[in-house]
Amino acid sequence: MRLIGCGTVFALLPLVLVGTQAQAPLPQAPAVHKLATTLRGSGCSEAGIETGDPTKGPSIIVEKFARGCAIPWHWHTPNEHVMMVSGTFRFEIQGEASVQVNPGDFVFIPSHHTSQTTCLGPDPCINFLYTDAPADMHFVDETGSEISSEQAQKNYAKTHPKQ
């Protein structure tokens, strides 16, 4: 199992604590983004900005996770809208049963709801993520106290067998 750390996705989602609700800016001209040229990163996760600026407001990000890649318990200030393209995620909201998210599925995660995901494979998990405000990420422990991404990874490894 590979856990996502302060790598690619988190570099695209800086810790900004601003909460405005605005519409995502529309491109000024028609545009087609090819996945192979959009994604940045390697190993466990890759990500690319499709529209907007996640440091300033609403944005759409494409994300790709390798089999076994996990994002431990965390929450975000903006609402998240996830559109699954390929692969299968195990998705968990704290206090609820886990569900499998498959291609074509849509997940809405309200602001400040604690969740975690794991790419189950065998195919990579690819999704589009729309956030309706500047992006941030807050890792938490079982009590809801904020912790480092490194500690969140250790906690996840203790509670989840290798995929």
Which pLDDT score is estimated for 159? 82
Which pLDDT score is estimated for 25? 56
Nearest to 161 by CA among 106, 114, 120: 120
135 phi, psi to nearest 5 deg: -85, 145
Mean pLDDT of the chain: 84
Three-state SS sequence of 113-159: CCEEEEECCCCCEEEEEEECCCCCCEEECCCCCECCHHHHHHHHHHH
Domains and CATH numbers, the chain: 2-17+37-159 (2.60.120.10)
The predicted-structure confidence for 100-155, as pLDDT tens digits, reads as follows: 999 999 999 999 999 999 999 899 999 999 999 999 999 999 899 999 999 999 99
